[in-house]
């Protein structure tokens, strides 16, 4: 955590779900990273610029496991409103945000709903604005490795079922984490699984039942994008198999004040493969300047 002291606590949502968070740093601004605890070691340098709040979103990590379907059925929209509860807990009028993957969508939905409380926003490898959009081949990296990984996982189901759940989770991630990097040599640096936690082992069920469908239901209109008054830095690898690079370009094109930082030959975790470029750009942006390589997308 780059030498910064770490504090942990729980925040109670309006419907009684406990959200686990960790804070570090002592800057004047507050940077909130939903679902970011598993990345906190990689982003430790940010604590030198801001007070950083990493937290486990509802029904994940060390936050409460939720069995009441009424507290899950809104999917990603629950996460948006929980984010504002986190803001209010820390008594911040405005917060900066950082979101990776589907949480890159969460933080933009927050900026659309609560523009008055949104400072600066960083998206890394965000899912596309509309789930149904099909991008041309040069904006949608396909090398067969993602499909191959899921085929391998499918063929392992009998073997995994016979293993201890924690070991089965680790075996699952051994296969899947290769898809998050362009160079397989970097796969060992993907350490997001937290297989000791029941909620993380069961996340795919939660995704399939609630998070994924809630994203599919979204129908963002021009006015939704126009509602975002915050500056947005979208960071996307050109070889992202999990969220198409075209989605990153679309975010930067459609938002009023956004720029795209393209990471050549990087996949879904570009800070793993280009740490100086990605972390340097984030720090520059949070200090109030656009990083030089970031471009304004016009088409």
C-alpha to C-alpha distances, 62 to 11, 17, 267, nearest whole angstrom = 12, 11, 27
Top-tier CATH class for 6-139+215-286: alpha beta
Domain boundaries, the chain: 6-139+215-286
What local confidence, expressed as pLDDT, does residue 48 receive?
87
Could you tell me which residues are beta bridge partners of residue 234?
123, 260
Q: Rounded to whole angstroms, how far apart are CA atoms 7 and 21?
A: 8
List pLDDT tens digits, range 162-214: 999 999 999 999 999 999 999 999 999 998 889 999 999 999 999 999 999 99
What local confidence, expressed as pLDDT, does residue 1 receive?
47
Q: Rounded to whole angstroms, how far apart are CA atoms 175 and 142?
A: 17
- pLDDT of 265 > 90? The answer is yes
Segment 59-63 mean pLDDT:
97
Nearest Cα to Cα of residue 240 among 179, 192, 288 = 179
What local confidence, expressed as pLDDT, does residue 26 receive?
84
CB 58 within 8 A of CB 78: yes
Q: Rounded to whole angstroms, how far apart are CA atoms 196 and 13?
A: 24
Residue percentage of the chain with pLDDT more than 70: 98
> How much is the mean pLDDT over the chain?
95
């Amino acid at each position: 955590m780059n030498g910064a002291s770490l504090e942990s606590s729980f925040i109670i949502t309006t419907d009684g779900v406990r959200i686990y968070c960790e804070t570090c740093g002592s800057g004047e601004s507050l940077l909130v990273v939903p679902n970011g605890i598993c990345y906190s070691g990689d982003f430790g340098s940010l604590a030198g610029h801001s007070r950083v709040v990493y937290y486990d979103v509802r029904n994940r990590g060390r936050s409460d496991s939720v069995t009441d379907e009424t507290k899950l059925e809104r999917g990603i929209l629950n996460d948006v409103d929980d984010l504002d509860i986190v803001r209010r807990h820390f008594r911040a009028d405005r917060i900066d945000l950082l979101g990776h993957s589907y949480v890159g969508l969460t933080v933009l939905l927050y900026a659309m709903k609560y523009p008055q409380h949104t400072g600066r926003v960083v998206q890394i490898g965000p899912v596309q604005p509309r789930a149904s959009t099909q991008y041309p081949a040069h904006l949608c990296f396909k090398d067969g490795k993602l499909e191959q990984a899921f085929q391998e996982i499918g063929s392992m189901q009998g073997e995994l079922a016979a293993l201890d759940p924690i070991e089965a989770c680790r075996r699952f991630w051994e296969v899947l984490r290769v898809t998050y990097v362009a160079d397989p040599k970097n796969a060992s640096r993907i350490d997001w699984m937290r297989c000791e936690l029941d909620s993380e082992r069961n996340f795919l069920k939660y995704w399939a039942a609630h998070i994924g469908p809630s994203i599919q239901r979204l129908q963002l209109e021009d006015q939704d994008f126009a509602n975002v008054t915050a500056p947005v830095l979208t960071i996307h690898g050109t070889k992202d198999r999990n969220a198409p690079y075209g989605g990153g370009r679309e975010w930067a094109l459609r938002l009023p004040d956004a720029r795209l930082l393209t990471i050549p030959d990087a996949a879904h975790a570009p800070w793993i493969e280009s740490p100086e470029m990605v972390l340097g750009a984030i720090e520059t942006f949070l200090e109030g300047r656009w990083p030089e390589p970031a471009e304004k997308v016009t088409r």
